[in-house]
Structure formats: C-alpha cells, structure tokens
Amino acid sequence: MTQGELLLFASAVLFGSVVAGFRWPRAWLMFVVCGAITAMAAAMWTLQGSSWEWQSTFMLGGQPLHFRLDSVSAWFLMLVAVMGGAGAIYSHEYWSDDHYPDSAPKGRVWWSLFLTCMGLVLTVSNGLHFLITWELFAVCGYFLITLDRQRGETRAAGWLYLAASHAGTMCLFAFFALLASHNNGSWELGPMRERTGLAPLFWLALFGFGVKAGFFPLHIWLPSAHANAPSHVSAIMSGVAIKMGIYGIVRFSGWLPVPTAAPWVIMGLGTVSALFGIAFAFVQNDFKRLLAYCSVENIGIIMIGIGVALLAATHGDAAWGRLALAGALLHVWNHGAFKSLLFFCAGSVLHATHTREMSRLGGLLRTMPWTAGLFALGSLAVAGLPPLNGFVSEWLIYLGLFDAAAGREPIAWFSIPAIILAMSGAIAVASFAKAVAITFLGRPRTSTAAHSVECGIWMRGPMLALACICLAIGLAPNLFCPIMSEVVAEWRPGQEDIQALAPIATLGAAQMTLALLILAATALLWRQTCRKDLRHGRTWDCGYALPTARMQYTSASFSGIAANWLRRLFLPERKLRRPRSIFPTEAVYMEHFQDAVLERLISPAAAAVQQLYSAARRLQHGRLQFYILYVLAGVAGLGILVMIGGGQ
C-alpha cells in the first residue's frame, strides 16, 4: 500500500460523499470524515520522509496526468484534511436540513467538491491541471460562500470574491502559460531553480496567489466574504482556502528562481498586512469581520517568514532563514487551527443570537460557557500568547529575525519587521481582549443575548478537537520538529534540523511549566477566595445605583483610542450632530469603518471605469437606422484599412 492508494481511496470516498450529500446527511458525514482520515494518513506518511509520485500516459486536455505528494504539499494536505473533517462534523448541526432545507444538501455537495479540489490542487504536478483544479476550487468556494443566497449582502460578497479570485486566476493563466512556453511547451512542474531566466515570472505568481492568500492591498474580497459566509465555510475559507495562496507562493518560490527584489517585496507586503490587517480588525464591530481582518494579519506574519527565508536563500542559505520558514509553516497550521476554532465559536454565537454585532451581545459566558471558554482559548492562541501554539510559530519567526539582526551581515537591518510584528502582536491582544470582553463578558445587552442557548454536541466536538490541537502544538512543539524540518528541507534542499537551530524543546518545557503553574495558582487562589466569606453584590460602578446594560463599554468605545490615532489611515465614515440649544432634541454620532482600500481605491476606480463604459453605451440606443449606419461605417473602415495596407 502506498500513499497513492490511500489518496485514491480518499478521493473515491469523497466522490461517494458528493452523491450521498444530496439525500443522506449521516452517510455524507461518514464518507467525508473517512476521506479526511485517509488523506491525513497519506499526508502523515509523506511527512515521515517518503514522497510519492505517479505519472500516467493517460492524457487529459492534451497533457499527461502527473500527481506528486511531497512533504510541502503533504503539510498543506494535512491542514485540508483536518479542517475539512472538523468543518463537516460542525456543519451537521450548524447547517442542518432542519434549519436550511434548501441549502443544506447543496452545502454538503459543494463542501465535498471543495475538499476534493483543494486536495487535487495540492497533488497535481502539471500546470494545466493545476489551473483547472484551481479554478474549480475557486468556484466551489463561491457556491459555499453564497449558500445563504437570500441575503443581498451575501450575494454581493460572493460576487466580490468571484471577481477578485478571477483577477488572480488571470495572472496564474499567464504565469503557467509563460512557464510552459519557456519549457518548450511542456506544462510539467517541478524544481527548476537553476533557470534564472524564469525569475520575472514569479511576480505573476505572487499576484495570482496573493489574491487568494489575501495579503494587504489584495485582501479586498476577504472581510466581506468571510463575514457573510456560513461560519463553517468562513472557518475553512480562513483556515485553509487562503492557505492555498500561501501554498502557491511557498511551492513556486521553492521550485522557481526568485527575482532579487522578491524577498524584500514579500517581507514588505507581509509587514504592511500584519500591521494594517490587525489595525482594521481592532476597530471592527462585527466579530466575524474582526476575525476576517485578523486573517489578513496572520497571512502577513506568514509572508514575513517566507520573505526572510527567501532572503536567506540568496545569502548563502543562512540558518535564520530556515527558522523563519519553519515558523511560517507552523503558523499555517496554527492559524488554520485557531482561526477555524474562532469561526466555529462565532458560528455558535450566531446560531444562538442571529447577530454578528458585538454591541448587541454581552454576557454570553453565562448561557454559553463552552463557546466562551473555547473562544477565550482561541483568542489567547491567535494573540500569540504563551503557552499556546500561536506563540511557538511567532517565536520561531522572531528568532529568525533576531538571529539575522545579531549576525554581522550588512543586510541585517531588514530585521526591522520585528518591531512591526511586536506592534501588531500588541494590537492583536487588544483586539481579542475586546472581542472576548464585549461578546462574552458583562451583562447581556439585548434579550436575544440573554436567552441564548449553548450549541449542541456536534458543534462542540470539532471545537474541542481544534482546541486540543492548539494546546498540543503549544505544549509539545518539539513533537512537530522532525516533520517541520522535513518540509523545510523539501522547500530548498539542505540538511538542517530545526531542533538543532532553535531550543524548541526548552520552549516546550517552559510552556508546559507555565501551564501547570497557571493551574496551580488558580487552584490556590480559588481555594483562598472560597474559604473566606464570598459574597455577591452588584457591580460597584462608582456608586451608581441603577446601571443598565447599555451603559457598558461597547466595542466602538473600546477601540476608540486607537481608532483615533489611526484616523487618517482608516478614513472612517462619520456622522456627527451635536446637541444644540438649551433643550437639545436629537444628537447623532455615527462612525463606520469600511475597508479603506476597497471603498477609497478600488470602488472609485471601478466607478470611473463604469462611467467610461456607460458613455460607450450611448451608442446603443435602439434606433435601427443608426445601427445600419454603424455597419456601413464599419465596412467603410475596413475598406480603407485594406486600401492603405493593400500593398502588403
């Protein structure tokens, strides 16, 4: 038995689930989970150090079939399998037939297809087939996002996603076509690092994959798509689908020669994404949008790692590059785990309260303790706090940057991103303190929030599983070292063990100790508190006797200070009517943070283009006589062209 057979089995099972999805939800679930586990096994096998390749003479679209599963693609396949399985279980309750009789079967079918396409993207090794599966993957994503077609917002988000995605795919078309033409018409993919002439093509790949990954100026589709999609879809989009973009960048930066400016550009884009992504996240009032912008930040962090690795590769394969790449790769997993967890929790809140507006929630900890606790765990992880997994990967990236700074190379000043990384880390702490506090703590602000109910076991199970992954990577990071080294070595050959470069075992021990100390101290303080007379009273509120739920700090007031610092950057839409006269009637203060890039840059440009075309539409007015005149003019024009160019 080889990985190939496992993969074949997985795809057969997933194909079965496509059929089962229409009618039999339980069978579908079983098939998907079965397929996911098989794919996981294949990925794990490959990550142990044996890659798999299969070539056939069978032609598809004039190209021979060629599959390959090496450790880089296995790393991402693992992510797809875990999150795909978890999301399927989650959706069994979240998007069930009882609630959504129309869209639930469609959702199941598209989910299976989506997973299959992602698996194929990761395994095909032929440019043409890559493009086909990539396009199918994007389209499946569109149908998943727009499952809830009744809402106009969702449809708009879906269209934006589709448009952005195709702008990216267009570049990829150019990229693969040019690659094939440079390779004498062969679409086969594989390592071709020594052919320096191919370097400029990398820019096309960067743009094409960048749209999918959603780093800063290309992230425009991401917030609305992730916020409006059903939560299990948001989870897989954010946790896995955008990682396909990262996969593309990692894959082709490993296989192709890279222009000298590319590491700097990637690092710059990563830095900008990290800072702006999290800054925008902090000022959001919609918790799913907050999570979506936070994905932009995390993609930025991953990009910084990749940029550092590329720079090191051009400077004699310095060890710090490998550390940063290991950090970036681990962050791919980590972000997949904690962001999916957070989106699942968000889905559970949405399921119970039907609102994404944080300022309409509050006090959910009382009614939904599981969701609240798991959201808190996810928040700690996403903010990169020890002892969880987010810290481990950020620590590796930082260590790469610091090692570069400590080294005596003249290019070491690029370690400046470390400063921005720290800044975005602190804003992430602030953002998630806000998300947790406004949504789950305090007093319920509305009656829906007060009467919410905890989600069921089918939703809680996958959430718990993801939380366990976060804990495992956080507390025992050294277990993941060998496979990480494997992937790093596959990216650009070189025999270095990550464990030898970074004291990751010591870090793991420190994190474990920290976790135990936290448990001990909590127990001690708890005992001491409960031993004495523990009384309950009203929140003090400085002596005010009748506090209402609406007097609590809201999401906008929490981020008000920082929002004010970055006013120029966010360009918020503001409406202010001050109270006037002695008996003021009505006062209004409204602040709305839309996406600065989309609303101030892309939309005006699109409007200008539209205006241009609507000028052209004036030609089409419905009068037949003029249409005949156009035909005549066209023929005459052609005639003139022939007369002028007739000599040749």
Supply 320's token pair: 């710090």
**Residue 528 or 614 having the CB closest to another protein:** 528
Alpha helices in 354-368 (DSSP H): 364-367
359: amino acid identity, one letter: S
At 59, give phi and psi (nearest 5°).
Answer: -100, 140
From 244-252, 302-310, 342-350, 382-390, give the range in contact with another protein by CB under 8 A: 382-390
Q: Is 280 helix (H, G, I), strand (E, B) or coil?
A: helix
**Residue 146 or 271 having the CB closest to another protein:** 271
Minimal distance, residue 282 CB to another protein, in Å: 9
Nearest to 515 by CA among 465, 464, 461, 473: 473
534 is a site residue for another protein (CB under 8 A): yes
CA angle 273, 278, 279 (to 5 degrees): 100
Instruction: Tell me if 206 sits within 8 A of 218, measured CB to CB.
Output: no
**Residue 551 or 641 having the CB closest to another protein:** 551
Biggest CA-to-CA distance, the chain:
106
| Cα 419 to the center of its chain, rounded Å | 23
Minimal distance, residue 132 CB to another protein, in Å: 44
**Residue 180 or 418 having the CB closest to another protein:** 418
Supply 424's token pair: 């975005």
From 27-35, 37-45, 472-480, 550-558, give the range in contact with another protein by CB under 8 A: 550-558
* Run of H or E residues at 118: helix 103-123
418 is a site residue for another protein (CB under 8 A): yes
113 is a site residue for another protein (CB under 8 A): no
Number of residues lying near another protein (CB under 8 A): 84
Length, in residues, of the chain? 648
Q: Figure out which of the listed residues 41, 376, 465, 512 binds another protein, where binding follows CB under 8 A.
A: 376
Minimal distance, residue 417 CB to another protein, in Å: 11
Q: Figure out which of the listed residues 261, 453, 500, 525 binds another protein, where binding follows CB under 8 A.
A: 525
569 is a site residue for another protein (CB under 8 A): no
Q: Figure out which of the listed residues 261, 479, 510, 601 binds another protein, where binding follows CB under 8 A.
A: 510
301 is a site residue for another protein (CB under 8 A): no
Minimal distance, residue 505 CB to another protein, in Å: 9
419 is a site residue for another protein (CB under 8 A): yes
Q: Distances in Å between the alpha carbon of 105 and those of 19, 28, 29, 144? A: 10, 10, 12, 11
Instruction: Tell me if 146 sits within 8 A of 158, measured CB to CB.
Output: yes
From 27-35, 38-46, 93-101, 360-368, give the range in contact with another protein by CB under 8 A: 360-368
Q: Figure out which of the listed residues 105, 268, 547, 572 binds another protein, where binding follows CB under 8 A.
A: 547
Supply 628's token pair: 């005949």
Minimal distance, residue 617 CB to another protein, in Å: 43
**Residue 249 or 436 having the CB closest to another protein:** 436
Minimal distance, residue 587 CB to another protein, in Å: 19
Q: Figure out which of the listed residues 163, 406, 587, 609 binds another protein, where binding follows CB under 8 A.
A: 406
Minimal distance, residue 379 CB to another protein, in Å: 8
621 is a site residue for another protein (CB under 8 A): no
Q: Distances in Å between the alpha carbon of 89 and those of 39, 272, 471? A: 16, 36, 21
Q: Which residues pair with 124 in a beta bridge?
A: 67
Is the Cα dihedral 154, 156, 157, 161 positive or negative? positive
From 25-33, 171-179, 300-308, 362-370, give the range in contact with another protein by CB under 8 A: 362-370
**Residue 565 or 630 having the CB closest to another protein:** 565
Q: Is 592 helix (H, G, I), strand (E, B) or coil?
A: strand
Q: Figure out which of the listed residues 57, 150, 495, 528 binds another protein, where binding follows CB under 8 A.
A: 528
Alpha helices in 383-533 (DSSP H): 389-406, 417-440, 447-450, 457-475, 481-491, 498-501, 504-531
The set of residues, in sequence order, having a beta carbon less than 8 Å from that of 592 and lying 6+ positions away, is 572, 573, 574
Nearest to 345 by CA among 555, 153, 158, 90: 90
532 is a site residue for another protein (CB under 8 A): yes
366 is a site residue for another protein (CB under 8 A): yes
Q: Figure out which of the listed residues 25, 507, 570, 593 binds another protein, where binding follows CB under 8 A.
A: 507
380 is a site residue for another protein (CB under 8 A): yes
297 is a site residue for another protein (CB under 8 A): no
**Residue 70 or 394 having the CB closest to another protein:** 394
CA trace torsion 167, 172, 173, 178 (10° rounding): 140
Q: Figure out which of the listed residues 163, 261, 518, 571 binds another protein, where binding follows CB under 8 A.
A: 518
